[in-house]
Structures are given as C-alpha cells and as structure tokens.
Structure 1
Amino acid sequence: MQSIGENWRRGQAVLAQAGIASARLEARLLLEHVSRCRHVDLLTHPEKLLEAAARTLFDALLARRVTGEPLAYLLGETEFRGRVFQVSPAVLIPRPETEVLIELALDKLRGLTAPRVLDLGTGSGIVAISLALECPAARLVAVDVSPEALSVARSNAGRLAAPVDFRAGDWFAPVAGERFDLIVSNPPYVAGGDLHLALNGLPFEPQLALTDGADGLACIRHIVAGAPAHMQAGGWLLFEHGYDQGEASRNLLTDGAFKATFTHRDLSGIDRVSGASL
C-alpha cells in the first residue's frame, strides 16, 4: 500500500506525461477528492497510507483525465464567482467569461424594485443563482429544456439557498404570457463543425448546450425574435455569444426594433455579450 505522498507524485507524473500543464495541481485535487484529505495533510503527513479503494478510484480518475475529460466533471464541482457549483456532463462547465453577463445584468437591475428576471438555457444555474444571491430584490425564473440540467441547477440553488423558480421547457414556452424587466441567456452559439468543438474537453460537454448545429446564431435569432413579447417596456435583453458574433448580434437586435444596442468585451478584449433595451 502506497502513501498519499507517493500517489501524489505518481499521479503528477501520469498527467504530466499526458501533456497536462497543471499536472501537480490536478493530481493533488484528484487525490484529495478520493482520499477526503486536505492539502495541509498532503504537506504535513505525506507518509499516510492511501486505502486500496481510494487508490483504485484515483487511478480510474487519472485514466479519465488523460483522455481529456474535464477535471470539473471528475471532481463533480467547480468554482464560479467565489461559490462552489456542482456540475455533471449534463451541463456546461462554468467559465469566467460568463461573469461579464452577470456584471452587466446587475448593472441593469440596479435601482429597480422587485424586478423580474428570466434566464434562458440556465444549465447548471450559475447565472440565475448568482443574480438571485447578488440582487436579492430580483425574482428569478430559469428555464432549460434538459431535465438533467435542471436537476443540477435545482441542487445548486438548494445548496446555496438561492430563490429561483426553475421551469422545464424550450426557451419561452414555460413563460407564456409573462413579462420580465430583464432577460439573460448564455445560449448555444458555436457553429456546427467548428474545430473548437473537438478541443479543450468540449467533446465531453453537452453538445446541445454548445452548438445549434448550424451557423451558431440560430438560438440567438430565436431569443431576439421572442424576447419582445416577454419584456416590460424599457426592459433589457442580454446574451453571451462567440468572439466573432458581436456585429451579427447587434444587427439582429437592431432589425428587431430594439434600441441602445451594444456589445461588451471581456477581459481579453473579445466581444462577449450583446444587448439592447425595448
């Protein structure tokens, strides 16, 4: 039976050989996950033995990581805006770029009394939950077509005590006849056949949440077309999109009779979120 220190070094070597740049960190996180030990335990008591069952699980997770499966799925959780969210292959892994959408949404909500907010395609629930917790006055409704995704989102909301009304259905169908002060979405926007879909662990993520299978704008067109019937006068629509879709998004909004159309860049200077008011 090997010690946790020996397994840490072994895991690091396995991941490094597979070309994983953060091999030391990832091996540690996986080892902590299977052994329920803390980082300080690895540093102060590396001689502690790793039980056989934990080593078997550790080896299995290493093998999955070597194939490119994202670390977040192996751990079952990831951090976003300082909160830990559960994730599974049923939902996209939260990305820091989506914080742009949340910051813009919070800005539009500032000063409103009990605003109603709709999150379309909520996935793991990171946008709706973050807004519910950071703007307690807001009343959140979150929609997703995937029952599995909604299960993850509801679990996250429960763990984080976020009051969100989750509904199953396709885009605006679950909110027929309702109007909102703000509509937000991080829809599928990768074009079908885009080479990025084969990189960086994306083959393991839900393709329905990544791509429309067409030009990457099909879902955005649907959202822009349907939003006015569900918006209060003066309300805002904000959505995330691809690096090369800013101009197309603004054109769709302008053609849809929206006003104050804009595109906001992320910290890398890439077009990330477009929006407009009604």
Structure 2
Amino acid sequence: MYEALNWASSYLTHHGRDANAGEYIMKHILQVERSQMLARLHDVLSEEQTKEFERLVHLHAEGVPVQHMTGTEEFYGRIFSVNSDVLIPRPETEELVYYALEKIKDMKSPVIADIGTGSGAIAITMKCERPEANVYAIDLSKAALKIAENNANKLGVPIQFLHGDLLEPLIQRNIKVDLLLSNPPYIPNHERETLSAVVVDHEPHMALFGGEDGLDLYRKITRQLPFVLKVGGIAGVETGAGQTEAVAAIFQETFPDRDVKIMYDINGKDRMVFLHV
C-alpha cells in the first residue's frame, strides 16, 4: 500500500492535481478511516484493489473529482452524498454554518432557510445542530433537491424542500424567516477559463457562475430579502475572494440603517457577510 500511495502522490502532482487525493481514494477502496489506513501502510493490496486504485487515480488525474468517485463528501462531521448535479460542499462553508449557529444561539425554534441548497449540506447541518428549528431548503434544480432530500432522509432530519428560484418559493407562501443562509454562485463568468477542470468540467455551472462580476445572485437575493426576513432576522452569505466589500455594499444599499458585518475565515480571509435587520 505504501508504494501505491507514493506512486499516486507523484503521478497526481505531475498532472497538477492534489497529491493527497490518493489517500482519499485508498480509504474509499479499503472502506477504512485514515488512522486505520495508516496503521496498514505495509499491507499488500490484492490485485483487484491495485487495479481499482490505479483506475481511480487515473480518473482524478483526468479531472474527475474524488468526491464523484466515492459519491460522498464530509461536511461538519457528517457524510453527504454528492454527484455532478450538486456543488461539492467546501470546508469554507462550514464556517458560514458555525457563525450562523453562534448568531442564533439565543433564538428559540428559529425558522431557517437555505437558498440554493445543492446537496443540502447547510440546511441539514442547521437542522441537525438545532433540531427544534423549522428549516426550508430551496433550489432551482430538481436534480439537486433529489440529492438533498436523500441526504436528509439518510441523516434522519425533517427538512421542507421547495423548488424554485431563490426566495420566490418563500415569498409565494408568505413564509417569514429568522435566518436566511446562502452560498450562491459567485464566480465571475470571465474566470471560467482559469478554473481547474476538476471544477468546471464536473460541477454544475448554475452553482458556480454569478454573472459578469459574480454578484448577480447577491443583488437578486437582497432585493427579495425585505419580503422574507422577520424583524430582528439575520441573513448570512458566503462570498468569493475579494467580494465581501461589494456584497456588504449591496446589503447596505437596501438596508441603509441596519448592521452589516464582514466575517473572516480561519485563514484570516474575508469570506462571509452577515446582515442583521
């Protein structure tokens, strides 16, 4: 196994991929945790295991995300099913959830909405962490909603899934929320050519690109917020690098007298904006 992992690291580095991806593939093949895998580094792989490992390493070198091979990704300590219909949950989004949970810790039975839910990672995590909350998950993609519903069922949490564009399903039903969260598409269209094939060729473009400057969805969400947020409510969004000031300004334009805060991730990068109404 040790030799196989070394080969994978070198091969993937040569092809411009994450050198550590071989470990994730090996864990998937052996169906073990990383600690168990490391304890077995000197085990000899079977011929079948070796062939499958090499096949998946070659696939990742060609650009296929490891998460699409394993069919899963971990988020906030839980395993979520993913495929090409949804954005693969990122660690940065865990911090959006963390800050949101801190901000609503004194709210009783909050009503929460996750806009553009994708795999359901945000909505389901909020429900798992705050079981008494009433959680809505919205997406324009019916295929994404199917994945999200499957994840909610597997994790045993009741979520109200709504199909539609941004906040429209909430507005149509006259639903008011205490907390609205979203990790909307924020990559500017012109940056498409700079993205890794792992992302641009395998993740849904409707979950990636946010118009010419990447801010189209923030503008649309903000215009709809007054119809959805309760008095004293909170909206929190994740942004791309260097976008927080612009997103904060979009919030402030619609809510000039309200508190808007830029939040920083664990690496000190400004990646989130929260609006308190």
Interval of TM-score (by shorter of Structure 1 and Structure 2): 0.7 to 0.9
- Which residue in 1 is equivalent to 2:238? 240
CA contact (8 A) 2:2 2:41 kept: no
- The 5 Å alignment of 1:1-278 reads 8=5, 10-22=7-19, 25-34=20-29, 36=31, 40=36, 43=40, 46-51=43-48, 57-175=52-170, 176=172, 177-194=174-191, 197-199=194-196, 201-203=198-200, 204-257=202-255, 259-278=258-277
Letter of the aligned partner of 1:162 in structure 2? Answer: V
Deviation at 1:14, TM superposition (A): 3.5
Q: Secondary structure at the match of 1:194?
A: helix
Matched to 2:196, the amino acid is: L
Q: Following TM superposition, by how much is the alpha carbon of 1:7 offset from its aligned partner in structure 2, in angstroms?
A: 5.1
55-64 or 199-208: bigger deviation: 55-64
| Mapped partners of 1:44, 1:265: distance in 2 | 38
Amino acid at match of 1:151: K
Cα deviation, residue 45, structure 1:
7.0
User: 1:118-176, CA deviations, whole angstroms, 9 ceiling, x for partnerless residues?
Assistant: 11001111111111011122110000011111111111111112221111111122222
Of stretches 252-261 and 12-21 in structure 1, the one that deviates more from structure 2 is 12-21
Q: Distance in 1 between matches of 2:236 and 2:193?
A: 24
- What displacement does 1:69 show? 2.2
Q: What TM-score results when the alignment is normalised by the length of structure 2?
A: 0.87
- With normalisation by structure 1, the TM-score equals 0.87
Give me the whole-angstrom Cα distance separating, in 1, the residues matched to 2:30 and 2:117: 32
RMSD between aligned alpha carbons?
Answer: 2.4
CA apart distance, 1:202:
1.8
Distance in 1 (CA, whole Å) between partners of 2:114 and 2:234 is 12
Q: Is 1:35–1:50's contact at 8 Å kept on the other side of the alignment?
A: no
Secondary structure of 2:242 counterpart: coil
Equivalent pairs: percent with the same residue?
A: 31
Would you say the 8 A contact 2:81–2:147 is kept in 1? yes
Give the letter aligned to residue 142 of structure 1: A
Q: How far apart are the structure 1 equivalents of 2:115 and 2:127?
A: 15
CA contact (8 A) 1:100 1:272 kept: no
Amino acid of the residue matched to residue 188 of structure 2?
Answer: A
CA drift of 1:183 comes to 0.8
**SS of match in other structure, 1:193:** helix
From the superposition, tell whether residues 91 and 197 of structure 1 become closer, same or farther in structure 2 (CA, over 3 Å).
farther
Q: CA 1:226 to 1:18, structure 2 compared with 1: closer, same or farther past 3 Å?
A: same
Partner-residue secondary structure (3-state), 1:275: strand
